[in-house]
A and B are shown apart, each in its own frame.
Chain A
Amino acid sequence: MQDTLTALVAKAQPEFAALTTRPEFEAAKARYVGPNGELTALMKQMGTVPKDQRPALGKLINETKTRLQPLLDAALAQIETAELRAQLGPAVDPTLPSPDVGPGTYHPLTLVREEMCRILRKVGFTVADGPEVETEYYCFDALNTPADHPARDAQDTFYLPETAKFANVSKKNPEERYLLRTHTSSVQIRTMLKGEPPIRIVSPGRVYRRDTTDATHSANFHQLECLYVDKNVTVRDLKALLDYIFASLLGKDTKTRFRPHYFGYTEPSFEVDLTATHLPKVKKPWIEIGGCGMVDPTVFADVGYDPEVWSGYAFGMGLERLAMLLYGIDDIRYFYQNDVRFLKQFA
């Protein structure tokens, strides 16, 4: 019997090792240890063996079983490995390109706007929004722009027909006309009318000028304006903000300077220049970047803030201009053409 069992193991060993599929495995397993298997058949002979030999034989059979099991396990492991390997195709060529499109890209104007908003958020400014279709009051009157000011001319500003109705753009006076906002300063007015000081907002957005489209002009472009209203706001605070913004954006060595200027809604008013000789295509020592000033008391009075109590500053700039400066882009039309070769450069 011993010999029979040893022969059985010896026979099973190469058979198991040669198994390559699960059905083969199951069949082989059945041949030996299945209900009709050879080992099972031997066990069934147990009844024919004298009683005193049975324990020894039982032991022998068990030993054989124990010897067969690792062989079965190994065979199964080998098959599983082979099965997994079969799931793989040939090895990849990692140098082939992915056929998928992308990655997606943010528009450079979005990137610049969001960077400015992040910089400003750090010093307490939150982003405000307002309609692009505006009325004469919010765009001009409330900003101390006299009725006969050239900026209000139909030559420079887009108007909607007098019959036009905009259900969700409120008018201050029923007879005023709708127009396309020429600056985002109208958001300042709406924010001041809606809220209470102190106010710290940044309003980026699309604005419109009736202008020829060329390398530096566009019928619509984007501005970003800041408004701060509080007690005891000073010119020095305004300068500090501008220094902070441009040092954050362009590096610590960036300097800003104020040149006195005139805007109807600020007094005093300044134009802001910055040094940016490290930027591409910048040749002049000072680059004009925006306008700013202390909110004119007339504007405060108009929105019902006591100019004796409240003071504030405002700053505004063109986003295209800033993006052109930052990236060295020399034609504003590229922003609106969306050539994917252009868009992919800023991701």
Chain B
Amino acid sequence: MKISLNWLRDYVALDASHDEISRAITFLGFEVEQIIRTGAPKLANVVVGEVLVRDKHPNADKLSVCTVNLGDPLGVKTIVCGAQNYQVGDRVPVALPGAILPGNFEIKQSKIRGQSSDGMMCSAKELGISEDAAGLLILTDRPALGTPINDVLPPGDTVFDIEITPNRPDALSHLGIARELAAWFKLPLLYPQETFRGALPLDEPARPDLLRSVRVDSPEDCPLYTAHILSGIKIGPSPAWLQERLTAVGLRPINNVVDVGNYVMLETGQPLHAFDARKLGGASIVVRRAVAGEKLTTLDGKERVLTPHMLVIADATKPVVIAGIMGGVDSGVSPDTTDLVLECAFFKRQSIRATGKRLGLTSDSAYRYERGVDVHASLEAAYRAIDLILATAGGKVVGPAFHVGSDVPWEREIIVTHDYITEKLGFDIPAADMRAAFEALEFTITREEPTVHPARGPAWTVGIPSWRDDLDRPIDLVEEVLRLYGTDKIPAAVVSSPGLVGDDDPIVRFNRRVTDYLVGHDFNECVTYTLRPAKEIATWVSATAAQELALANPFVEDQSHLRPTLITGLLESLKLNQSRGVAATHLCETGRIFIERNGQNVECAAVGFIIAEPVAQRSWLKREPVDFYAAKHHVAALAAAAGIDLARQPLASGPGPLLGWQEGHSASVGNIDHGWTARFGLLDLAMVKALGIAGKVYAGSFAILPEKITGETARRRYADFSLLPAALRDIALVVDAATPASEVQKTLAKLARAAAATAFALEAVSAFDVYTGPGVPAGKKSLAFSLVFRSAERTLTDEEVNGVFQKVQDEVAATTPWQIRK
């Protein structure tokens, strides 16, 4: 909120500089967002002078050389001036050597085009009082010569735009901020003194014709409602001082009554509302919930349809105000209003907040009620407003006055010890300073007594004022003491660092490991948005995922769903790079994805990558293009980082196509139902092309339930290995083109192991050739494997190996549909 320094000075005699005040506000816990200055700053060595002579400068067409009289004792000066708007005899501001004008512009004795000049005659802009730089500021009031310029110019103001934290509604007013600054600068706080104190004049007859009754039907929303009648007032413009105050803090003056309402709200924090008494049907006020379907056109010109959740102020028949938020156009004060009903009430914050939210409506009044108004200061504010209305609009207070609701006296005490505060702070502030801080904030110390350890300071019983509802525990007072002591004075210390109490979370370690791997393999790590469009998920993942992963309240359409994959985000980044002509081929990301399974979602830790063909880039040296098996290799490494050996997993290239992946060129393994899942291979060519991406894109992803990454891997055991030579035998088999190599490999391994039995070991069976073409029938392929045998005890002889190998071949011929290729 905007706080005027001139206004603050009504309550506290601040003579500190703007910077000091700004710093005080900051360290009291309120953020100063902006400092706005109006009027002239303090200007030394700038005085009133009169132009006696104006001669053309001998060496410059646009300059004049003037003789300027500054009166006694400054005398007559010669000043070179470039302005054109003045005449001999005009009185103008003159800045003399030593003056510092806004912008840190120091005036010096100088020579201008060979003509010496004793100072400068100033424009309004040069003095910092307006943007007017058209010419000199002519002082038409002809103030006395030599008068310091600040005595002539209007004083100006400084406005602090302050952000008030939600716990401090008491600071949403000039008095509230003045109270804080008075405490900080150790100055007394002067409250406004009301003349009207609630006593109705005995010589004026009551006017029940203006207001007959006030009834509160909804006391849970409105614990206190007061109404006073002011009769015979005259609506007109506010006096200059009042207009100036409101203008300074950004409010537009309207008329004396409305302006007083705003002024008192900005002074005390208590919102007020004035009705034209004539417009209250039945001369009555009912505070009630709206009836469904009731309508009210509010001051902003909008018709509002009300619901039974909303609290309204109604007359005998209809709502006239949305309570605490905004008045209706028909019941407010107009230029011909003569009799007023002044409302000063307390509405519950929940009620105001809920209504404001439903209507999408807020106001200065609603803002304060939402955060909490001090019900115990409501009447004071009403009296203050009555004083000011009587002073600015005339009239008189007449009966009856209404005061509906219980006014439970405020009482709150917190017991806190010096020792407790010291213990929480970790450094000592003298007990006297603590006590002084409480008192400066107008907390009452009702008791001070020694504790069981008198040396550690006293215990205080601290009475909390009604406007500080945010304080109710000893810890809250620690903050108050520290605020006033100054948080910039917390002494330095060394961080104590005992041993680690744990290790990094396994997911964190997994993410690090896979990122290290991928970056080590030339990937650029990316970060993409979690929220993705529904259409993309339906296209790339599944229609059910596009349903189940929807947010209830997306903000924009293309960020409406949780991502079920990292691949689409990476593709988007790839596309961006391609469209900018930037070489990008290897992109990766780690992050959370969300997988839908049978109507339930799971949050997974995931890592994904894409490898794109370099399309636009040419190179003087060609490399082998990337392929499916590169993606497989990387995914195996990522799975290994989570302790999963992909070689032991059944790899499926089906059944059926995987959405987004090219059939016959991609594979999936694992199942999130069992904790993890991986996919890799070529992305669907047509879908990638449809995104506007050029070239083939290979990709891989691995996702795991966070709870499955335990970080505890079983300690590996060393296995003995033979130092003797191995014996190799090769075998090529003609098999159906669709037969997976792993099936053949496993069968061969099983047969070879059986054949070698306990004589020696089969060390490996590995594919080294895949062939189709002449010599192999159509629909078949030839797979060649190398069998490695080895013994731990001896060098194997050809005979024994041949014997075993023959058995393997016999078994293949006898038990499998495969032909041995000779």
Contacts and interface: CB of A to CB of B under 8 A. Distances in A.
Instruction: Say whether A associates with B.
Output: yes
Interface of A: 96-97, 99-107, 109-110, 114, 117, 121-124, 126-129, 131-133, 148, 150, 153-154, 158-162, 164-169, 177, 180, 195, 198-201, 206, 208, 210-213, 218-220, 232, 234-237, 239-241, 243-244, 257-262, 267-271, 294, 296-297, 311, 335-341, 343-344
A122 to B, nearest CB: 7
Contacts, number: 254
A238 B482 CA distance: 14
A210 B482 CA distance: 35
Interface in B163-199: 165-168
Interface in B396-431: 423-427
B524 A344 contact: yes
Interface in B539-595: 548, 550-556, 559, 562, 573, 576-577, 580, 582-587, 591-592, 594
Contacts of B490: 235-236, 239, 258
B342 interface: no
29 contacts: A99-B619, A99-B621, A102-B522, A104-B524, A105-B519, A121-B500, A123-B495, A127-B505, A129-B706, A133-B562, A133-B601, A148-B349, A150-B353, A159-B553, A195-B502, A212-B555, A213-B556, A220-B530, A234-B423, A234-B425, A236-B491, A240-B495, A258-B490, A262-B165, A294-B475, A338-B577, A341-B582, A343-B525, A344-B524
Given A101-B586, A124-B500, A129-B505, A206 B592 contact: yes
B350 interface: yes
B501 A199 contact: yes
B527 A259 contact: no
Contact of A131 (B530, B585, B706): B706
Contacts of A271: 31
A331 to B, nearest CB: 14
A78 B504 CA distance: 61
Given A132-B530, A234-B423, A262 B487 contact: no
A239 B493 contact: yes
A323 to B, nearest CB: 11
Contacts of A105: 519, 524-525
B717 interface: no
B551 A158 contact: yes
Nearest to B601: A166
Nearest to B523: A104
B482 A126 contact: no
Given A110-B515, A131-B706, A219-B529, A100 B551 contact: no
A154 B552 contact: yes
Of A126, A131, A154, most B-chain CB atoms within 10 Å: A126
Interface stretch (B21-29, B772-780, B784-792): B21-29
Give chain B's interface residue range (CB within 8 Å of chain A): 35 or more
Contact of A236 (B427, B522, B530, B552): B427
A208 B577 contact: no
B601 A167 contact: yes
Contacts of A122: 497
Contact of A165 (B527, B559, B600): B600
B467 to A, nearest CB: 16
B499 A160 contact: no
Contacts of B720: none
A218 B527 CA distance: 13
A121 B166 CA distance: 35
B774 to A, nearest CB: 33
B498 interface: yes
Interface in B499-545: 499-505, 507-508, 512, 515, 518-531
Interface in B582-636: 582-587, 591-592, 594, 597, 599-603, 614, 619-623
A268 B493 contact: no
A219 B562 CA distance: 12
A169 B599 CA distance: 15
B357 to A, nearest CB: 7
A77 to B, nearest CB: 30
Given A206-B591, A208-B530, A219-B556, 19 more contacts: A101-B522, A104-B518, A105-B525, A106-B515, A110-B525, A117-B504, A127-B505, A127-B508, A168-B705, A177-B552, A220-B531, A235-B425, A237-B495, A239-B490, A240-B494, A338-B528, A339-B577, A339-B580, A343-B525
Nearest to A201: B502
A166 B602 contact: yes
Nearest to A262: B165
B279 interface: no
Interface of B: 26-29, 31, 165-168, 349-350, 353-354, 357, 423-427, 473, 475-476, 478-479, 482-483, 487-488, 490-505, 507-508, 512, 515, 518-531, 548, 550-556, 559, 562, 573, 576-577, 580, 582-587, 591-592, 594, 597, 599-603, 614, 619-623, 705-707
A107 B573 CA distance: 13
A153 B495 CA distance: 38
Contacts of B587: 338
Contacts of A335: 527
B515 A154 contact: no
Contacts of B521: 104
A106 B601 contact: no
A124 B499 contact: yes
A106 B525 contact: yes
A41 B740 CA distance: 63
Contact of A133 (B354, B508, B603, B614): B603
Contacts of A158: 531, 551-555
B483 A260 contact: yes
Given A167-B600, A262-B166, A159 B508 contact: no
Contact of B492 (A107, A126, A133, A239): A239
A161 B561 CA distance: 11
A168 B706 CA distance: 9
A199 B502 CA distance: 9
Contacts of B551: 158-161, 180
Given A104-B519, A122-B497, A340 B524 contact: yes
Contacts of A117: 504
Nearest to A158: B551
Contacts of A161: 550-552
Given A100-B623, A104-B518, A311-B424, A258 B487 contact: yes
A102 B586 contact: yes
B528 A336 contact: yes
A104 B522 contact: yes
A133 B594 contact: yes
B515 to A, nearest CB: 7
Contacts of B515: 106, 110
Contacts of A269: 479
Given A131-B603, A131-B706, A260-B487, A124 B524 contact: no
Contact of B585 (A101, A121, A169, A200): A101
Contacts of B29: 259-262
A-B CB proximity, top 7 nearest: A234-B426, A102-B522, A236-B426, A260-B29, A268-B479, A104-B519, A262-B165
Given A168-B603, A211-B555, A237-B493, A259 B31 contact: yes
A338 B482 contact: no
A168 B602 contact: yes
A178 to B, nearest CB: 9
Contacts of B597: 167
B521 to A, nearest CB: 6
Contacts of A102: 522, 586
A164 B548 contact: yes
A64 B551 CA distance: 96
Nearest to B504: A127
A243 B282 CA distance: 67
Contact of B527 (A159, A160, A338, A340): A338
Nearest to B502: A126
Contacts of A240: 492-495
Contacts of A340: 524, 577, 582-584
A267 B559 CA distance: 36
A262 B580 contact: no
